Amino acid sequence: MKQSNDKTKKSSPVTRALLALLVITLILAVTALTAWWFLVVQNVAESVTVEAGSDTVDANDYLLRDWDMPAAFVTDVAAIDLNRPGDYPVQISYYGRIYDSVLQVRDTVAPAAAVASVTALSIEMPQPEDFLLGTQDVTSVSVSYAAEPDMSLEGDQTVSLLLTDEGGNTTQMEANLTVIFDRQAPAIGGVKPIRIFLGQEPDYLDGIMITDDMDEEPALSVDDSRVDLSRGGEYPISYVGVDASGNEGRFDTTLTVIVDETAPSILGVNPISLYVGSTVSYRSGILVSDDLDKNPKLSIDSTGVDLSQPGTYEVVYTARDEAGNEASVATTVTVKEKNGYYTDEETIYAAVDEILELIITEEMTDREKAEAIFKWITGHYGYYGASDKTDWLQAAYTIIRTHMGDCFNFYAVSKLMFDRLGIPNITVTRAENPYRATSHYWSLVSVDGGETYYHFDTTPHSAGYGYRFCLVTDEYLDTYDNLYCRGYYARDPELYPATPAEPLE
């Protein structure tokens, strides 16, 4: 039997020691690398969640463990709307590395609101928003009905509202709804009989008003199906108003188509005489009337008159009624050379302004000024039953100079004072009547800038009866006229504005 030559080799103690040291070093290195990976590289969270409405977010909130090494945002988080839920990518700088993460904005708080009671017509479903006085939530809030109200039930009922925010949080609230039924028809005002002339088109809606207690814009229609505008006669028409609830109001009246072939008459046109350089009121004393038209229009052609040159000129008055019928009357204007009694306008104005400086102050109201004028004239001038009525301005100066005059002088000086003060006034002349053959002049005066007018007459004819004609009403004037001097204040009401029914206080 042969004997084997293989011998087991054994390592030396030094080799074994080195090998053990190498293994230990490797283990320590792996352990350190693993610790660095988990403690540093894996210390940034993949996401952070904040409540909607938060003021700010801190980059250190992304660190899983609290180390002395702070983190910082690379992303401009100030540009992120923290009031709007969503996932927003962000980058974090930490320990020399950039990490991708997510900022999660979440809304977990349910909305709150203040509600109000609502009253609605049965035909109008109110919107859920109508019940809200205001909402309280970081995000926007929508509102809906949990179940729609029953608008067929009159009276009060409870309505359930669902408030939902952007985060999906929901709050249910209750409010009161009062359902009312509209049973009142619209009211139609301003309806009156209509008069037109043959060939004209009616304006059915002129002055018409329609109102309703619940409908702001009720419908209005006119039934004129039985009207024949090609023929004269009286025809029925109906105004029909319908509100949103279907209630119908009706108002009946008539449309009269008038066949008018008669022209207006022009009264009071007389030859006019005045001085060179004077002014003239062509309208003064002219009366235009018509058998059907209460307010015919008067035009005056005075283009051929030259008030700077003596001579005789023609003036043409033309009246036209609503039907288009016209009448014309011509007269003459005689311009005379100034005589020894003529006073220039500057002198007259200076004289009246001197009086006004004595009786008028800046603090006075227009009414107080009218009272002062009335007191001055009635206290300083006497009556004389004749005057030169050629020129009202000259007549005004005559009574200032002589302290005497008739109604024309009293009217003229009143008009002059009002004109100088800029107070609106209208000349009134007596209308032709069977009781008075003579003329009379007075004024309508406004102390509110032209809105309303009152009668003003300084002629001293009524002192014995206790009447005083300073800013008085039509009724006051007519009462005096009927009691004491019938026809004295006769006037055509179509030519002048009516006074207010109530006297000035």
Rounded to whole angstroms, how far apart are CA atoms 441 and 429?
Answer: 5
Q: Give the pLDDT score at 339.
A: 75
Question: Does 478 lie in the same domain as 372?
Answer: yes
CB-based contact 157:149 (threshold 8 Å): yes
Strands (E), 279-413: 287-289, 297-301, 311-320, 326-336, 382-383, 404-405
Whether residue 471 is found in the same domain as residue 359: yes
CA dihedral for 369, 375, 379, 384, sign (positive or negative): positive
> What is the DSSP pairing of strand 297-301 with strand 311-320?
antiparallel
Res 415: pLDDT: 92
Report residue 132 as tokens.
């809200």
Do both 152 and 215 map to the same domain? no
Evaluate whether residue 215 is within a structural domain: yes
Q: What is the 3-state secondary structure (H, E, C) of 213-249?
A: CCCCCCEEEEECCCCCCCCCEEEEEEEEEECCCCCEE
3-state DSSP assignment of residue 254: strand
Is 174 contained in some domain? yes
Alpha helix segments (H runs only) across 437-473: none
Residue 34 within a domain: no
Answer whether residue 491 is part of any domain: no
Judge if 474 and 351 occupy the same domain: yes
Please report, in angstroms and rounded to a whole number, the separation of the first and last CA atoms in the chain.
163
> Contact 487/433 with Cβ under 8 angstroms?
yes
- Please report whether residue 18 resides in a domain: no
Residue 18's H or E segment, with its range, is helix 13-39
Residue 354 shares a structural domain with residue 468:
yes
Task: Estimate the share of the chain in helix, then strand, then coil, as percent rounded to the nearest 5.
Answer: 20, 30, 45
Q: Which two tokens stand for residue 251?
A: 């108002």
- Based on the domain organization, do 192 and 219 belong to the same domain? yes
Q: How many domains does the chain have?
A: 5
Task: Let me know whether 358 and 454 are in one domain.
Answer: yes
Tokens found for residue 187: 């009211």
Q: What is the CATH number of the domain that holds 478?
A: 3.10.620.30
Residues 244, 246: Cα–Cα separation, whole Å: 5
Would you state the structure tokens that stand for residue 448, as one six-digit string?
Answer: 């509110």
Domain boundary among 180, 208, 234: 180
Radius of gyration of the chain (CA): 50
Q: Is residue 423 part of a domain?
A: yes
- Domain that residue 358 falls in: 345-484
On whether both 272 and 309 belong to a single domain, the answer is: yes
Is the same domain home to 371 and 450? yes
pLDDT score for 297 = 95
Contact 279, 349 (CB under 8 A): no
Paired with 73 in beta bridges are 92
Same domain, 349 and 479: yes
Domain presence at residue 25:
no
Q: What pairing do the DSSP bridges indicate for beta strands 265-267 and 287-289?
A: antiparallel
Mark which of 106, 131, 151 sits at the end of a domain: 106
Domain-terminating residue out of 106, 130, 148: 106
User: 232 in a domain, yes or no?
Assistant: yes
Query: Are 421 and 455 found together in one domain?
Result: yes
Model confidence pTM above 0.85: no
Mean pLDDT per 10-residue run, the chain (505 residues)? 50 75 69 53 86 90 82 92 93 92 93 94 93 92 94 94 93 95 93 91 94 93 95 96 94 94 80 79 76 90 94 96 91 84 90 97 97 97 87 91 95 95 89 90 91 93 79 95 91 82 92
SS3 for 70? coil
Same domain, 229 and 161: no
Cα separation, 76 vs 103, in Å, equals 12
What is the three-class DSSP state of 100? strand
CATH code, domain carrying 214: 2.60.40.10
